[in-house]
């Protein structure tokens, strides 16, 4: 059993759910990395034989921080299965809810989960350490406190249309259950405006939104930091490079995004036109490939599951969830290995805010990527950029809402059908697949961003993005392996991770 | 200083996130005002020293005043608990060891209280609540279990629990104002779980006069008769203490799912199950079939006309 002669300690906390990460070191260098998910809750099994509409209540409970994203994926899958038409108002309200959740997540991730590691003792001798502590220290830092205060305002926007957050509702095939009145729209507009000026402009970017939107290159960003040096984005940009976060955690050569924010006038279930495009960006030549969900495969050769057909990869429509007790010798995780079949290759892409913006064609991110490649620093910068964009889009979508027009169109019931919903959740690409037979769910499969990033190796020995990002990392002080923590947390891993460190004699050495 | 430790079992983290939404007081102010020391929380703590904290509690170096548990106790597979390993061993084993040492134990959320979604049919992880399994008293710790203060596990059910319910309960404990007679038969604080979701629901007049909303997406009409609202049989203050200071499920036209109750999830949501004579299978708490029939007949007949047609007309409207 994994962990029998190895002491399991110290969850690498501040992430959602459960993951252990076993890292083997040679000297100070990571030579192997095994992401190990240690919690199984069986949601896909529970959904079987239930009414398809029940998935709207059950899947948000997959995750407490991105339940709205699961709801959005589910509803898109049901739209397809029910051949539902969605009136423009329905699409707008869904988008607003989804982006409000993303804003909440980006703020909480950045300040409550990632930046507080800057107070780590590794950085004590840097001249800007005191400034980092004053801003980012947990519970006391000035920016930390603002983040606690303002992140929950995003959830108020969600609740205006979804009743509550977390685990809000309201999205149903055919639109949303809510029928917002002009006072709801006015309130939501005021809240997003306030977040923009009080948190985003004053604390995060340090200058006016409209001007920040014209920052399109690394050169522009450097200029921005001369003009508005007090925003956290400039602090992390400058300090981050001093701390070498730009050299840390390069992983997969491919960035993938399922795309996000359907345009309200042109909504269809199969191929909605999207504000953030879907695709796969090859970092070697900066070409973007079209994404086809038929090329998705999941393997369980290293996961605590069995397939009735052995080691071959399964597409989610054929997917199986048969857990086995976590005591196998070669298996080490409850996460399946996601792979994308690209011609004759199986690729393990990176997903997340950085991928969403890069694939979506954001100029600033693309220019930064060309200069620096993927790394921990850029993943955090991406969240600052994304939040500015999100706020702007929420404002625009609220503006477009037409009171008096329907938010919902009742679809016909179906007995036998199937559908999938692909979206971008806060942490990256998320997909749900549903197969309906005799009016009941015959199969329900979910692919989550953390699974895509942190899956195990496949039967051919290909590593997932996270393992690639960790292997080769130099850890300055084995007793304080903060570099590894940065890499994992920069992905906003949806897991409570345990990091175990092994030296080359396979002895546990770490405490985080 | 009171110590508080927050652990997660078979959880989605929703109650932790809900807690972060607290306002007046927000979390930081609450801890300060109530002199609470947060020993550890999986998503908020800087330090990664949970194993040491757990061991210090075990050997008496740390007094644990309040243990908050979120999520189910996972017993599977085959009673090993290895579907949920934490800091080196099954979470269920940590809970067995720590529970008798805590002065108070709070189960937050429906999972920790009653088993919630993971424990629902077919319960693939052998999940259960801390002191209840659905309706049955017992759960993981057993019927007779009492924490050091003499209290049973205090349940703050809901999927998730509202931050105001959580913080108020903790404040009452800290201030010594929580007495056992303030708990209901499911060990939930009565101040929150006496009324039903209908209290404060803006659709209540429609319920009274039996005017149904037959289709989602509308602001008017009651969601009980056709769309599966469990408001009349669910004890919660959701329409009185609003969510995120703003709203509730029924306010945005989503039927109440009954997530504060022991039988959540009931499945077949969004549809009112009826018996052969067309009566809803689930009647409001404490109402007999006979009186429901009488009440409906009278109610329908006496409905004020202004309620039987849309108050505000819009394109493609449904009533009339
Ligand atoms: S909508 Fe639900 S909670 Fe509101 S009055 Fe009707 S039954 Fe009660």
Cβ–Cβ below 8 Å for A39 and B84: yes
Please check the confidence at residue B25 and state whether its pLDDT lies above 60: yes
Which of ligand 1's atoms lies nearest the C-alpha of B222?
6
| Helix ranges (DSSP H) in A163-313 | 182-194, 209-212, 218-227, 232-242
Average pLDDT, chain B: 94
| Percent of chain A whose predicted confidence (pLDDT) is above 90 | 79
CA distance A99 to A101: 5
B220 token code pair: 């008017």
Closest residue of chain A to B44, computed from CA coordinates: A14
Calculate what percentage of chain B has a pLDDT beyond 90: 88
Cis status, amide bond into A158, omega within 30 of 0: no
Element (H, E) at B220: none
Q: Is B7 part of the contact surface with chain A (CB cutoff 8 Å)?
A: no
Mean model confidence pLDDT for chain A:
91
Q: Does A412 touch chain B (CB under 8 A)?
A: no
pLDDT at B58 over 50: yes
Question: CA A110 from chain center: how many Å?
Answer: 13
Q: Which of B200, B230, B235, B256 to mutate to test the pocket of ligand 1 (most atoms within 8 A of CB)?
A: B256
Instruction: Return the higher-pLDDT residue of A260 and A327.
Output: A260
Inter-chain CB proximity A40 and B83 less than 8 Å: yes
Q: Identify the helix (H) or strand (E) that includes residue A490.
A: helix A482-490
Interchain proximity B48–A62, CB inside 8 Å: no
Identify which has the larger pLDDT, A32 or A170.
Answer: A170
How far apart CA A206 and CA A229 sit, in angstroms, is 7
Q: Is B61 exposed, middle or buried (0-12, 13-18, 19+ CB in 10 A)?
A: exposed
pLDDT at A322: 92
Which of the residue ranges A177-186, A475-484, B247-256 would you say has the lowest mean pLDDT?
A475-484
Pocket residue to mutate for ligand 1, from B207, B243, B257, B259, most atoms within 8 A of Cβ: B207
pLDDT band of B85, cuts 50, 70, 90 = confident
Which of B132, B151, B62, B50 has the alpha carbon at shortest distance from B91?
B50
pLDDT tens-digit readout, B189-238? 999 999 999 999 999 999 999 999 999 999 999 999 999 999 999 999 99
- pLDDT of the residue at A507: 34
Confidence of residue A13 (pLDDT cuts 50, 70, 90): low
- List of chain B residues whose C-beta atoms are within 8 Å of the C-beta of residue A61: 12, 14, 116-117, 159
Report helix angle B50-58 to B91-98, nearest 10.
40
Q: Which two tokens stand for residue A234?
A: 């400039």
**Would you state the pLDDT for residue A496?**
34
- What CA–CA distances, in Å, run from B193 to A302, B185, B236? 46, 10, 5
- Cβ-based neighbour number of residue A467 at 10 Å: 24
The answer to whether A325 contacts chain B (CB < 8 Å) is: yes
pLDDT digits (tens, 9 = 90+) for B140-151: 999 999 999 999
The CA distance from B102 to B93, in Å, is 15
pLDDT surpassing 60 at residue B271? yes
Task: Supply the pLDDT for residue B307.
Answer: 92
B318 vs B72 pLDDT, higher one: B72
Distance CA B160, CA B165 (A): 11
CA atoms in the 13 A half-sphere facing the CB of B68: 25
User: With pLDDT > 70 as the criterion, what percentage of chain A qualifies?
Assistant: 93
Closest by CA to A332, choosing from A43, A21, A25, A63, is A21
The reported pTM is 0.94
Using CB atoms, pick whichever of A11, A40, A45 lies closest to residue B42.
Answer: A11
Domain architecture of chain B: domains with CATH: 2-193 (3.40.50.700), 195-320 (4.10.480.10)
> Which residue in A300, A323, A303 sits closest to A313, CA to CA?
A300
pLDDT score of A5 more than 50: no
**CB-based contact, B79 to chain A, within 8 Å:** no
Burial of residue A237 (CB within 10 Å: 0-12, 13-18, 19+) is buried
Compare B300 and B239 and report the one with higher pLDDT.
Answer: B239
Cβ of B232 closer than 6 Å to ligand 1, yes or no, is yes
Using the predicted structure, report yes or no on whether residue A365 has a pLDDT greater than 90. yes
What does the longest C-alpha to C-alpha distance in chain B come to? Answer: 70
Pick from A177, A30, A265, A380: nearest CA to B217: A177
Q: What is the DSSP string of A377-433?
A: HHHHHHHHHHHHHHHHHHHHHHHH--TTS-SB-PPPP-SSEEEEEEEEETTEEEEEE
- pLDDT score for B317: 60
Q: What is the position in ligand 1's atom list of the atom closest to the CA of B204?
A: 5
Whether residues A175 and B254 touch (CB distance < 8 A) is answered with no
Candidates A9, A167, A174; nearest CB to B159: A167
Residue B222 marked as a ligand binder: yes
ipTM value, please give it: 0.96
Say if B55 is an interface residue toward chain A (CB within 8 Å).
Answer: no
The reported pLDDT for the residue numbered A67 is 92
Average pLDDT over every residue of B31-55: 90
pLDDT at A14 over 90: no
Region A270-279 average pLDDT? 94
pLDDT confidence bin for A10, thresholds 50/70/90:
very low
**What six digits make up the tokens of B94?**
């940590």
B100-120 average pLDDT score: 97
Residues 6 or more apart whose CB falls under 8 angstroms from that of B211 comprise B221, B222, B303, B307, B308, B319
Q: How far is B215 from chain A (nearest CA, A)?
A: 8
Picking from A4-18, A83-97, B115-129, which range would have the lowest pLDDT averaged per residue?
Answer: A4-18
């Amino acid at each position: 059993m994994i962990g029998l002669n190895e002491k399991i300690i110290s969850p690498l906390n501040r992430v959602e759910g459960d993951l252990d990460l076993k890292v083997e070191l040679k000297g100070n260098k990571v030579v192997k990395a095994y992401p190990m998910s240690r919690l199984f809750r069986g949601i896909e099994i529970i959904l079987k034989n239930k009414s398809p509409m029940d998935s709207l209540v059950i899947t948000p409970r997959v995750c407490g921080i991105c339940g709205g994203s699961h709801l959005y994926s589910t509803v898109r899958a049901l739209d397809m299965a029910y051949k539902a038409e969605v009136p423009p108002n329905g699409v707008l309200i869904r988008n607003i809810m989804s982006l409000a959740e993303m804003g909440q997540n980006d703020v909480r991730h950045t300040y409550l989960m990632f930046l507080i590691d800057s107070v780590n003792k590794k950085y004590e001798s840097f001249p800007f350490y005191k400034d980092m502590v004053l801003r980012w220290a947990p519970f006391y830092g000035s920016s930390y406190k603002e983040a606690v205060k303002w992140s929950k305002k995003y959830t108020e926007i969600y609740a205006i249309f979804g009743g509550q957050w977390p685990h809000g509702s309201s999205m149903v095939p055919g639109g949303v259950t809510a029928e917002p009145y002009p006072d709801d729209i006015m309130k939501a507009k005021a809240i997003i405006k306030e977040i923009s000026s009080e948190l985003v402009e004053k604390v995060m970017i340090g200058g006016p939104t409209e001007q920040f939107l014209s920052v399109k290159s690394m050169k522009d960003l450097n200029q921005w930091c001369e003009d508005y040096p007090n925003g956290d984005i400039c602090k992390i940009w400058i300090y981050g490079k001093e701390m070498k976060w730009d050299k840390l955690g390069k992983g997969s050569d491919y960035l993938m995004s399922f795309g996000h924010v359907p345009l309200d006038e042109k909504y269809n279930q199969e191929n909605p036109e999207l504000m953030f495009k879907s695709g796969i960006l090859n970092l070697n030549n900066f070409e973007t490939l079209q994404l086809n969900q038929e090329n998705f495969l999941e393997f369980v050769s290293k996961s605590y599951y069995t397939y009735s057909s052995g080691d071959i990869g399964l597409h989610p429509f054929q997917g199986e969830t048969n857990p086995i007790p976590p005591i196998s010798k070669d298996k080490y995780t409850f996460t399946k290995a996601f792979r994308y079949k690209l011609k004759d290759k199986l690729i393990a892409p990176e997903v997340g805010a950085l991928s969403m913006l890069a694939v979506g064609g954001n100029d600033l991110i693309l220019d930064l990527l060309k200069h620096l490649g993927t790394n921990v620093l850029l993943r955090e910068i991406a969240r600052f950029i994304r939040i500015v964009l999100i706020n702007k889009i929420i404002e625009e979508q609220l503006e477009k809402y037409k009171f008096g027009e329907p938010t919902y169109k009742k679809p016909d019931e179906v007995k036998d059908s199937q559908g999938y919903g692909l979206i971008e959740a806060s942490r990256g690409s998320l997909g749900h697949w549903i197969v309906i037979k005799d009016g009941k769910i015959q199969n329900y499969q979910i692919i989550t961003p953390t699974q895509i990033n942190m899956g195990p190796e496949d039967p051919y020995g290909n590593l997932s993005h996270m393992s690639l990002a960790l292997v080769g990392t130099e850890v300055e002080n084995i007793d304080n392996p903060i570099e590894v923590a940065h890499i994992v947390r920069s992905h906003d891993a949806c897991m409570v991770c345990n990091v175990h460190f092994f030296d080359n004699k396979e002895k546990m050495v770490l405490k985080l | 200083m009171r110590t508080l430790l927050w652990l997660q079992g078979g959880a989605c983290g929703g109650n932790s996130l809900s807690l972060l939404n607290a306002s007046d007081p927000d979390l930081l102010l609450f801890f300060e005002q109530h002199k609470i020391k947060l020993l550890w929380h999986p998503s908020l703590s800087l330090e990664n020293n949970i194993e040491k904290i757990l061991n210090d509690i075990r050997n008496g170096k740390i007094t644990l005043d309040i243990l908050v548990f979120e999520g189910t106790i996972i017993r599977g597979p085959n009673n090993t608990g290895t579907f949920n390993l934490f800091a080196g061993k099954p979470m269920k084993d940590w809970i067995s060891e720590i529970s008798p040492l805590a002065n108070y134990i709070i189960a937050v959320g429906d999972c920790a209280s009653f088993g919630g979604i993971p424990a629902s049919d077919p319960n693939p992880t052998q999940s259960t609540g801390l002191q209840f399994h659905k309706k049955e008293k017992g759960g993981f710790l057993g019927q007779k279990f009492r924490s050091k203060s003499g209290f049973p596990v205090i349940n703050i059910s809901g999927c998730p629990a509202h931050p105001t319910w959580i913080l108020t309960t903790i404040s009452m404990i800290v201030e010594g104002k929580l007495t056992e007679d303030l708990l209901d038969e499911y060990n939930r604080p009565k101040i929150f779980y006496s009324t039903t979701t209908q209290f404060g629901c803006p659709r209540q007049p429609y319920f009274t006069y039996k005017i149904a909303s037959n289709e989602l997406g509308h602001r008017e009409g009651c969601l009980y008769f056709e769309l599966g609202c469990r408001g009349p049989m669910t004890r919660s203050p959701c329409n009185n203490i609003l969510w995120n200071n703003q709203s509730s499920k029924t306010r945005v036209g989503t039927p109440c799912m009954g997530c504060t109750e022991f039988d959540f999830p009931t499945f077949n949501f969004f549809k009112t199950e009826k018996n052969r004579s067309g009566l809803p299978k689930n009647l409001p708490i404490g109402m007999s079939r006979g009186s429901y029939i009488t009440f409906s007949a009278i109610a329908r007949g006496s409905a004020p006309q202004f309620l039987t047609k849309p108050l505000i007309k819009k394109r493609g409207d449904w009533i009339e």
